[in-house]
């Protein structure tokens, strides 16, 4: 009798479709990086990909669906960077800072992917999106928020922070996520001054954490030195890549 645990074998057609989708998304990323989302059209994929117009429209159907797929792909990369941040060997507040650094570096290393998240109909007009894409998108958001929530709950268990009875770690995680995501949207809308907005949120989180207080506070530890350590130990490759493109990046 065949085991119910035996994974279903993918058909050749399914494998080919997946491979084509991956290839087309990469080509789309490269094109969008050069010409921007507004100018990009699905028809632009035909020449560089070698696929017919019909094949491209079978896979994506609309430009909005392609952008949604780019958003989900980018979210997966963002989650990988967030996981790296959480494995930094430090206190919960230091790992919270690492999460913020991961967010900023992700935005700089993959600006078109981040913008896809921001402009995607997965956020702005969910009724237009296939259910499977919505589920994947929400799963990625929940993974980030749940990671934050676990970090905050650990801080509570370690007595590094105490929340009042009317506010839970989950609520703090949701508000932090909303605030950081909103800050990044503002940064995208003012691309000439991204660092200003990212630094503003960093200062805001310092104010919030110090006044909780979340130990060690910035009066007990120099978090600028911690930032340098996080970059050196966790995100050196990403930081070096950003610095190469933007020498003024701090």
pLDDT score, position 187: 75
Residue 36 lies in a domain: no
What's the whole-number mean pLDDT along residues 25-46? 94
Q: Does residue 73 contact residue 113 with C-beta atoms inside 8 Å?
A: yes
Instruction: State pLDDT tens for residues 78-135.
Output: 999 999 999 999 999 999 999 999 988 998 888 889 889 888 888 788 898 999 999 9
Residue 187 lies in a domain: yes
| ∠ Cα 33 39 43 (to 5°) | 95
Instruction: State pLDDT tens for residues 138-148.
Output: 999 999 999 99
Report the predicted TM-score, pTM, of the whole model to 2 decimal places: 0.87
Q: Does residue 103 contact residue 180 with C-beta atoms inside 8 Å?
A: yes
Q: What is the mean pLDDT of the chain?
A: 89
Which has the closest alpha carbon to 116: 56, 184, 37, 57? Answer: 37
State the CATH number of the domain containing residue 232: 1.10.357
Separation of alpha carbons 26 and 10, rounded Å: 23
**Overall domain count for the chain:** 1
Residue 149 lies in a domain: yes
Residue 202 lies in a domain: yes
Structural domain boundaries enclosing 217: 72-109+125-245
Q: Does residue 130 contact residue 46 with C-beta atoms inside 8 Å?
A: no
Residues in CB range of 194: below 8 A, 6 or more apart: 107, 108, 187, 188
Instruction: State pLDDT tens for residues 170-184.
Output: 999 999 888 887 877
Which residue's structure tokens are 């508000």? 175
Kindly tell me if the per-residue pLDDT of 3 is higher than 80.
no
pLDDT score, position 184: 73
Instruction: State pLDDT tens for residues 161-211.
Output: 999 999 999 999 999 888 887 877 787 777 667 778 778 888 899 999 999
Kindly tell me if the per-residue pLDDT of 1 is higher than 60.
no
């Amino acid at each position: 009798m065949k085991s119910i645990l035996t994974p279903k074998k993918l058909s050749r057609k399914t494998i080919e479709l997946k491979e084509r989708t991956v290839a087309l998304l990469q080509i789309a990323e490269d094109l969008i990086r050069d010409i921007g989302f507004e100018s990009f059209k699905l028809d632009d994929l035909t020449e560089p990909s070698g696929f017919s117009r019909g094949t491209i429209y079978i896979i994506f159907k609309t430009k909005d669906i392609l952008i949604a797929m780019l958003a989900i792909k980018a979210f997966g990369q963002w989650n990988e960077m967030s996981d790296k941040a959480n494995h930094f060997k430090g206190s919960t507040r230091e790992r919270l800072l690492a999460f913020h650094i991961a967010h900023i570096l992700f935005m700089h290393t993959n600006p078109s992917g981040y913008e896809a998240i921001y402009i995607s109909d997965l956020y702005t007009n969910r009724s237009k999106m296939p259910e499977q894409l919505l589920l994947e998108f929400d799963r990625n958001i929940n993974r980030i928020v749940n990671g934050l929530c676990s970090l905050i709950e650990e801080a509570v268990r370690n007595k590094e922070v105490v929340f009042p009875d009317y506010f839970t770690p989950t609520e703090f995680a949701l508000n932090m996520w909303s605030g950081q995501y909103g800050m990044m949207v503002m940064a995208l809308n003012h691309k000439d001054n991204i660092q200003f907005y990212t630094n503003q949120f960093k200062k805001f989180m310092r104010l919030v954490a110090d006044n909780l207080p979340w130990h060690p506070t910035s009066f007990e530890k120099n978090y600028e030195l911690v930032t340098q350590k996080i970059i050196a130990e966790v995100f050196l490759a990403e930081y070096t890549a950003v610095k190469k493109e933007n020498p003024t990046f701090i």
